[in-house]
Copies of this chain bind each other. A is one copy, B any other.
């Protein structure tokens, strides 16, 4: 298939990835003196922080998937292409799509991360992850399928296995999934599956000495107490050593019979394959200068989670505001380069950090102040619904949360996968 891109007269900026960084960069380049091509494997921007709510049957998938083309309406110099990038070639300034080669003058890599399994046998094959909408839907389907099977089987060992849910990783993702699953079991599942009352078991496995280690010890302890009060079993200082179809082996010798493993215990950078691999730092992230340019390729930028960036001796935390601010900076630097000026360094302005736990509890650190409880929980919801793209999604998410948190119900429960024979 031959490409139908316009004749290549003006400079062309190719952005790979329509996550927080790349999507912001494309929007900030509207009206720039260059042709911008945004490439993503999906035709939507995924609002990652709410994926766990898709997985736990709270939100419709479309509410966290904003159509890229809709956001780009009216930006005459910005185009979108849904495609999988097979390789980038810095020396020849080409993006290889398999059937087409796209030449570029400037390149922005914003491809984010994927799960890292630390070599645990079976983890990649047997775990569910939350890096994409498809993965979130697959996890929701899996859970609904476990409930349906558990309600029917007369084999109590099998029912216990189906109703035991293991979550690996005690960071923000692991904690929010454990909390939302616990709320689900105590609310809608109790009412839809009265036979399953008392059978649900959630085990949260954390390698560190406390939960939410990006926050203070006190807030980690708060999250711990909160999840424990929701019935979550928490194993600190514990690692998973192997996973097979029916069994999860922990490094303290315990074996869990659990039909579900959610892996939230590590990430690594997911750059596209590169003909000339640049220097990579911790977790495979690409080394960038203070201006976000690759060291040896001043026309190539890396932003968001795929880039390794230190500020005041600290690496960035991998949260959305960092990527958004880098998207703005990379657009400003590209505009400078197009005018023959030198790019300027990126400087992250940290507004604070929040995490949701569950049971109307959250934790936060804003302006140096640590706080946990209902205020943090409410603030988390408010901040996320504010940053969610699209008025429609914001309205519907608010309505859905009213139903979830006031009426204690869950809306989205259709199971799209097939069950085994009964």
Contacts and interface: CB of A to CB of B under 8 A. Distances in A.
Contacts of A153: 1-4
Contacts of A191: 70, 73
A69 B152 CA distance: 13
A414 B18 CA distance: 13
Interface residues of A, number: 58
Interface string A378-417: 0000000000000010011001000100000001111110
Nearest to A391: B403
Contacts of A158: 1
A2 B155 contact: yes
Interface string A98-134: 1110000000000000000000000000000000011
A44 B413 contact: yes
A192 B1 contact: no
A86 to B, nearest CB: 8
A19 B181 CA distance: 30
Nearest to A84: B421
A151 interface: yes
A102 to B, nearest CB: 9
A137 B44 CA distance: 16
Interface stretch (A60-68, A211-219, A269-277, A291-299): A60-68
Contacts of A149: 1
Interface string A33-53: 000000001111000000000
A134 B69 CA distance: 25
Contacts of A151: 4
B395 A4 contact: no
A44 B153 CA distance: 20
Contacts of A411: 62, 392
Number of copies: 2
Given A100-B422, A392-B411, 4 more contacts: A42-B415, A70-B188, A83-B152, A99-B422
A154 interface: yes
B416 A81 contact: no
A195 interface: yes
A98 B154 CA distance: 16
25 contacts: A1-B153, A3-B152, A3-B153, A4-B151, A4-B154, A41-B418, A43-B144, A43-B413, A44-B413, A60-B60, A67-B192, A67-B413, A67-B414, A69-B193, A70-B191, A81-B422, A82-B415, A84-B419, A84-B421, A86-B421, A97-B422, A99-B422, A137-B416, A392-B411, A396-B399
A142 to B, nearest CB: 13
A268 interface: no
Given A158-B1, A421-B99, A82 B42 contact: no
A73 B422 contact: no
A233 interface: no
A6 to B, nearest CB: 10
B133 A414 contact: yes
Given A153-B1, A392-B403, A415-B82, A192 B70 contact: yes
Given A2-B153, A98-B421, A395-B399, A62 B414 contact: yes
A148 interface: yes
A259 to B, nearest CB: 13
A158 B62 CA distance: 30
Nearest to A403: B392
Contacts of A392: 403, 411
